[in-house]
């Protein structure tokens, strides 16, 4: 279905060539200052036509808030919003319509529904992500105001061009000797995660915050474009100041929710949190994150190979993860394939297509991350507030309870 | 929460030292032959003590069906089941209880709940997976009987010891030249995916179906064990004969559901489907799966780098994916860390611990995959049956409809 | 939250004075012929200003479909729709705003959110029901095409003016003797349920299909209007040709879902199905619906005091129920009450208000009924199709299985 | 499905003759003192064999907690519990099995599933309610400790024997004149709602807290029993000290959730809240609940015809509602009906059956009420805590905000 979230919930609608695409965001806390521009900023980062690297279509993507706010403040009721489609007519027939595009959704939509939109892509159109980005912008604004949460995503690779040590490959030496953790994530990369800002990211047209790598990525994308081909890449995202205790222990672990969210973005095929696949090669004695008391009196971990999540629950450290986007399926280069009825032939997509989507994917990754955290914050607050209204626990062994501190911390008058 | 699924739904309960662990499986189709042994087989593959590689605890894990069947046939009503815990007393106090285990759930549970089970692990105990495996076994039996679905998972790496070309690393050459797809997945590995059986997997104590690699993995695990250390690894899973059309286009894409399911398994940190992270380095022209008409009159793809899912929807090809498990957090080796109150010290876990969980994780991965597919089959059947009851579509351009065939194919009498 | 349904799902947004009210309908079967007029018809029956009995505001309520259809056929993707608000400015301040309206939502919204829309009503505005009616019209169209389902609601009482024997009161005789079922529901009323049409209902401005009673109701409403007062009433709804087997046995019994749906309509306070409250006074021997074989070879019941639902599951007989609407809270008559800060005073609502909502509630009741049935049809089809793909049950005592007939009846090729 | 609730959630399993019936309660706040006896008390009030009015079967119904607590305190993890069935064998064949019992679930289960439990009733057995009562007892304990909530249900009618003025019938005078509210609910009844205790209820074997009426009810039930017949009745329930702000404005209004919960109890056919059906006959001017400032500085309403809910949201006043239970379908008296294959015949149920279920239904009604309130408390706390972390609203007209007080009231440190 087209709904994401439990207490903070977004539902979207819209195809490429219908009247509009839009969303209903339900469960937004009341009293949040919110105007259209809060949403527009992220929408504009998402839209095509921002540089000569992306598709030259210039979509305006102006958002219209329909409900849920008055005088610039949220009411707690559902926020309806929509962005009009510039081209609202069903697509004209074309000979290319006889072909399901290889690795695209044309064929599977027809298998699923027995009918598909004239544009082929229909609901799988990248325009579908507008609703996500809009909802995520609202969630992000709340999280920033209430908890100081910072969410920054950036491009960590395009094809084989990688940000240094973002996830350096296995040395695959002839020996089976252990890696160290530093083989998985370099100290420079760990430092970048701690400090990178959205401004640094947007300063590069590839949204890779490392100028030299960005330039190589640019060349790689141009090469794909000139060859009427396409290329994939990865996006890394870091979240700072996320409260501890988020995520549900069994089926809804925080990494499971984040993985679900990221793998729901079009063209994604891979997800890893913390040290990820490379961390599986490091023995426990080197991979474990030991505890220490911080200067501010809070416990923390000395390292953070876990990526801020242990046992499926956030521990207050930075959360970071990486998402893999395959090379776009629609290319202008001729491909030997078959028509719907099996007739062999050659398909070359008409028009201009995005040779690489990862720069535009950055705000979408941020949005989906914000949606996951926002929903989990609400769920955990429900539990924490409920527990705070009970009498203090006095009968348990001291190693089982949080030093009797929880009730005091969150104590509030009964509702 | 402790529930997974929409129409086929499992809810679990249980900690390490409570009376029992168990599950309620709701939404099982009526009329499925089902006895305890159907569930026991997979439970026994999951339990510890099966070889000298795993923890020597010998848990019996006998399942008791409570409801939902009569005379060996499901009634369509919820199936309650439970497995008794051998040791049902809260754990005695120990000095190690003063320490939250690094990279374990002790600390985050206390942050989340303000209270935790005496055993520390509590709900994060591996015993929690019993309910998943039991539910998955039921789903798998249905899928096999109704669709001939085959699900086989196996160990594809332990530490740096990899099944040849399971996911060979980036060459990271000085050039930014393209990889070919064969760099990502070798022809041998593609062939293995098509043919590997559960019997071949279980023939090796590591559950890696390649004898030579299995022997190297065994040595790697023994080395970790002897060092009182631990090591991670990856599990690859393939599903054959899955019907096309499964998965919901936007937030519940099939890879998103599979990723969610896999990342909810304890100790998982990474997931990739099809060519995964490595596929992001291959240009679209080489990565796209072209269509062809098969001898049996069905359309298929010549290659399958997509892993059986396009646009979030299954296309009828084999589905395969890889899951990364970090090195187990609990090790007997001394670790410099801090107590709950911040006092620095050294923690060495008491008792024997599993140095590597991936061999035991194989049936858990299969179970979670079965749960996802089963739920999506039910959801898609609801849609397909509903569409089949409508009059044929005659007013649409022919490229928009499945050749008018859907209504005939699934035609049935009105309910 | 603002979402209703599991597989057929509507999510709504909108307050009185925001830009628009709208809805997203998700899960509509693909291939359903659908144009705006299908929805507009029911919306127009809902809107005010239809007769001199209702509020004289003339809202246009033109629906704009945004997505989910092409060339007049549904695609299976979410259907976005909206109706613009004529007056889109926040309401100007008024002295009456100092008062929470008695028995209205002003006070409780402020308790819930700490903030409320300028119009007071905000989300509790009757305009919120537009999304329900639109979604219900789509569900109803499907149910009619696929199953021939007929849904007709009508006004059965206004104040104390009742359709004869719609639910005649307890005789409350001095004796405790039993009632007969006919005391609860008269033969004339039972006959009306079998035959009443939407045309007969709309022929009367009160939507009570009994001319003489309708005239008395009209007088009652005019009396309330002239007194600046208001009056409540009841709506009865009947559904014909609903397939058997709908409803989930335990928490989601069909009457529970219907009750939930009806009691979510603004101003409703009571619900009863079949013989309802009055049926509790009739002994089982008289109240039970005995079985008989019908001429068409189908089993049915000779009477239908159950209202078409037994054990929470539809039995194929007509489903009928009654919904109670309280007298509207907003009246122009002065009321002694208190301001938000407790200051006593007299509140007289400004403007014209609907003295009786039941005539306009008729299409809303029909819509909510359609939504419940549609969702349950999809859920039951998922189960039934799944069961049909299993081998026939041959090992059970014959009294436990449906004569081995289910598999044949619904047999279809594997997906 | 067999799950109820969003954040506080119960899932049940079990038929009449399987190994056990049980439930998983998920989402219970951590730190709640809980032992088996807390649950057992309500289970024992539910079970048969408590007086000569109910079925003489003596079920022991001992509850076994499986998980979720240690040392008598909840951990916040799922609470598994079960009650063994005394008779665990599938029922032997009997000639009565050839007949679907009139107005029972035999026929509809077979229509739904194509297969049914040997006992006929299967999942529709009254034993299914054990899980509800257990879960409700846990919710109730929390609500009492955290908010002082009191929940008391009682029998308000058996057949035509009514507690005086519980819901006196319409006078149905020849005139259409208005009723007063007192015609709907007498002052004595209003007083009873404010004061009635569970002890007063249990002092009468009918659980009607009015001795004289209870005696008449007893005679009525004995009359049904002697005639091998059955009789229905109603249960009224009142909840005191429920916090304001509970219930979601549109589809999940508090009365909709309560109605859903009550109509999911076996044999229920009717629900009304506050003045209910009778209130529809009273004009707004008399029915509205005017506000007043209470001595304790809190706003309240002078009357409470709304039943504590306005606009779907609790207002802090007592919540009360009435539930109608039909006469039990299973009677020993011969009934002319038809076998599954249509053969006409006479069915007389074997064994002893409960002639009237309402006395035993009292704890079930209380349990379902507790489940609804508990879930809504958690959901509203999530919202309220989230809002409390935002900066105070200073830009809105004063009539739109709760006097700027919400932020202060619920202010707490950031998580």
pLDDT of residue A59: 56
ipTM over 0.90: yes
Dihedral angle at the C-alpha atoms of C388, C393, C399, C404, nearest 10 degrees? 50
Q: Does the structure show a pLDDT above 60 at D135?
A: yes
Interface test with B, best of A121, A311, A329 (most B CBs within 10 A): A311
- Taking alpha carbons only, the member of B148, B146, B207, B216 closest to residue B363 is B207
User: What's the pLDDT tens digit per position in D30-67?
Assistant: 999 999 999 999 999 988 766 666 665 555 789 999 99
Residues within 8 A of C (CB atoms), B 127-166 only: 142, 145-147
Which segments of chain C have a pLDDT < 70?
49-59, 90, 92-93, 120, 165-183, 403-415
Distance, C-alpha D238 to centroid of its chain: 10
Whole-number Å distance between alpha carbons of D74 and B116: 9
Neighbours of chain D (3+ CB pairs under 8 A): A, B, C
Residue C114 contacts A, CB cutoff 8 Å: yes
Chain-chain contact of B378 with C386 (C-beta, under 8 angstroms): yes
For residue D311, the chain C residues in CB contact (below 8 A) are 104-105, 108-109, 124, 266
Whole-number Å distance between alpha carbons of C141 and C144: 5
Residue D396 contacts A, CB cutoff 8 Å: yes
Phi, psi of A226 (to 5 degrees): -65, -25
> Minimal Cα distance from B66: which residue of D?
D19
Active site residue C64: no
For residue A31, the chain C residues in CB contact (below 8 A) are 113-115
Residue C332 contacts D, CB cutoff 8 Å: no
pLDDT of residue C51: 67
Helix, strand or coil for residue C403?
A: coil
pLDDT of residue A16: 83
Which segments of chain B have a pLDDT < 50?
168-174, 404-415
pLDDT of residue B180: 64
For residue B118, the chain D residues in CB contact (below 8 A) are 70-71
User: What's the pLDDT tens digit per position in C286-313?
Assistant: 999 999 999 998 999 999 999 999 999 9
Taken as a whole, chain B contains a residue count of 415
For residue A372, the chain B residues in CB contact (below 8 A) are none
User: What's the pLDDT tens digit per position in A360-388?
Assistant: 999 999 999 999 999 999 999 999 999 99
Task: Measure CB to CB from residue D243 to each of A7, A244, A415 and give the nearest one.
Answer: A415
Give Cα separations from C229 to B107, C53, C223, C330, C354 (angstroms). Answer: 62, 13, 8, 9, 9
* Domain regions of chain D by residue span: 3-386
Q: Does the structure show a pLDDT above 50 at A174?
A: no
State the average pLDDT for chain A: 89
Residues within 8 A of D (CB atoms), B 77-106 only: 77-80, 82, 90
Given the residues B97, B104, B252, B260, select the one marked as catalytic: B104
Alpha carbon of C86: minimum distance to chain A alpha carbons (Å): 13
Residue C291 near residue C299 (C-beta atoms within 8 A): yes
Phi, psi of C152 (to 5 degrees): -135, 120
pLDDT of residue A186: 85
Active site residue D354: yes
Q: What is the mean pLDDT of residues D8-31?
A: 95
Active site residue B104: yes
Task: Measure CB to CB from residue D382 to each of A73, A378, A389 and give the nearest one.
Answer: A378
pLDDT of residue A49: 62
Residues within 8 A of B (CB atoms), D 48-77 only: 64-68, 70-71, 73, 75-77
For residue B234, the chain A residues in CB contact (below 8 A) are 277, 280
Q: Does the structure show a pLDDT above 90 at A173?
A: no
Please report, for chain C, how many H helices and E strands are present, in that order. 12, 18
**Residue C258 CB burial class (10 angstroms; 0-12, 13-18, ≥19):** buried
Q: Does the structure show a pLDDT above 50 at A170?
A: no
pTM recorded for the entire structure: 0.95
pLDDT of residue D117: 87
Residue B387 near residue B406 (C-beta atoms within 8 A): yes
Residue C78 near residue A12 (C-beta atoms within 8 A): yes
Residue C91 CB neighbours (<10 A): 18
Ranked by mean pLDDT, which of A179-183, D95-99, D203-207 comes out on top?
D203-207
CB pairs under 8 A between C and D: 468
Whole-number Å distance between alpha carbons of A151 and A89: 37
Task: Measure CB to CB from residue B73 to each of D77, D80, D115 and give the nearest one.
Answer: D115
User: What's the pLDDT tens digit per position in D76-97?
Assistant: 999 999 999 987 776 766 778 8
Neighbours of chain C (3+ CB pairs under 8 A): A, B, D
Give the model's confidence band at D106: pLDDT under 50 very low, under 70 low, under 90 confident, else very high.
very high
Residues within 8 A of C (CB atoms), D 202-231 only: 216, 219-220, 224, 227, 229-231
User: What's the pLDDT tens digit per position in D243-260?
Assistant: 999 999 999 999 999 999
Residue D302 contacts A, CB cutoff 8 Å: no
Task: Measure CB to CB from residue A386 to each of D29, D245, D413 and give the nearest one.
Answer: D29
User: What's the pLDDT tens digit per position in C95-152?
Assistant: 788 899 999 999 999 999 999 888 767 788 888 999 999 999 999 999 999 999 999 9
Q: Which residues pair with D64 in a beta bridge?
A: D82
Q: Does the structure show a pLDDT above 80 at A354?
A: yes
Interface test with B, best of A110, A169, A263, A405 (most B CBs within 10 A): A263
- Taking alpha carbons only, the member of B114, D74, D413, D383 closest to residue A410 is D413
Q: Does the structure show a pLDDT above 80 at A184?
A: no
Give the model's confidence band at A415: pLDDT under 50 very low, under 70 low, under 90 confident, else very high.
very low
Task: Measure CB to CB from residue D395 to each of A71, A384, A390 and give the nearest one.
Answer: A71
B288 CB-near residues (< 8 Å, 6+ apart) = A102, A103, A329, A331, A335, B305
Residue whose entry in the numeric block shows the structure tokens 């979030």:
B312
String of DSSP letters for D24-50: EEE-PPTT-B--HHHHHHHHHHHSS-S
B396 CB-near residues (< 8 Å, 6+ apart) = A115, C70, C71, C73
Q: Determine what percent of chain B falls in helix, strand and coil, rounding each to the nearest 5.
A: 35, 20, 45
Token representation of residue A410: 């969150």
Residue C380 near residue B415 (C-beta atoms within 8 A): yes
Q: Domain D3-386 is in which class?
A: alpha beta
pLDDT of residue C411: 34
Q: What is the mean pLDDT of residues D283-306?
A: 95
């Amino acid at each position: 279905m087209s709904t994401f979230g439990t207490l903070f919930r977004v539902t979207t609608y819209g195809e490429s060539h219908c009247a509009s695409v839009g969303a209903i965001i339900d469960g937004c806390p009341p009293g949040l200052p919110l105007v259209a521009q809060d949403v527009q900023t992220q929408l504009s980062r998402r839209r095509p036509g921002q540089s000569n690297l992306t598709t030259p279509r210039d979509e305006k993507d102006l958002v219209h808030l329909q409900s849920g706010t008055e005088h610039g403040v949220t009411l707690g009721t559902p926020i309806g919003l929509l962005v009009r489609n510039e081209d609202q007519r069903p697509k004209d027939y074309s000979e290319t319509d006889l072909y399901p595009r290889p690795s695209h959704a044309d064929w599977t939509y027809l298998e699923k529904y027995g009918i598909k939109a004239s544009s082929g892509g229909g609901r799988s159109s990248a325009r579908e992500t507008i609703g996500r980005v809009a909802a995520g912008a609202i969630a992000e604004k709340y999280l920033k105001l209430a908890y100081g949460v910072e969410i920054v995503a950036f491009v960590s690779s395009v094809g084989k061009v990688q940000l240094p040590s973002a996830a350096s490959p296995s040395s695959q030496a002839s020996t089976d000797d252990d890696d160290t953790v530093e083989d998985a994530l370099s100290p420079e990369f760990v430092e970048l995660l701690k400090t990178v800002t959205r401004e640094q990211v947007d300063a590069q047209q590839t949204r890779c915050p490392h100028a030299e790598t960005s330039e190589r990525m640019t060349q790689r994308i141009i090469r794909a474009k000139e060859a009427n081909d396409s290329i994939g890449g990865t996006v890394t995202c870091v979240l700072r100041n996320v409260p501890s205790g988020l995520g549900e222990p069994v089926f809804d672990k925080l990494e499971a929710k984040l993985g679900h969210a990221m793998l729901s973005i079009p063209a994604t095929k891979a997800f890893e949190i913390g040290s990820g696949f490379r961390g599986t090669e490091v023995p426990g004695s080197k991979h474990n994150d030991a505890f220490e008391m911080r200067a501010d009196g809070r416990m923390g971990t000395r390292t953070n190979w876990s990526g801020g999540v242990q046992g499926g629950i956030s521990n207050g450290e930075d959360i970071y993860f990486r998402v893999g986007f395959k090379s776009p399926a629609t290319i202008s280069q001729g491909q030997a394939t078959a028509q719907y009825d099996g007739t062999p032939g050659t398909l070359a997509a008409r028009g201009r297509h995005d040779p690489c989507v990862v720069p535009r994917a950055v705000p979408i990754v941020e949005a989906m991350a914000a949606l996951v955290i926002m929903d989990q914050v609400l769920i955990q607050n429900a539990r924490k507030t409920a527990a705070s209204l009970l009498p203090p626990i006095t009968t348990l062994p001291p190693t089982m309870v949080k030093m009797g501190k929880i009730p005091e911390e969150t104590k509030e008058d009964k509702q």
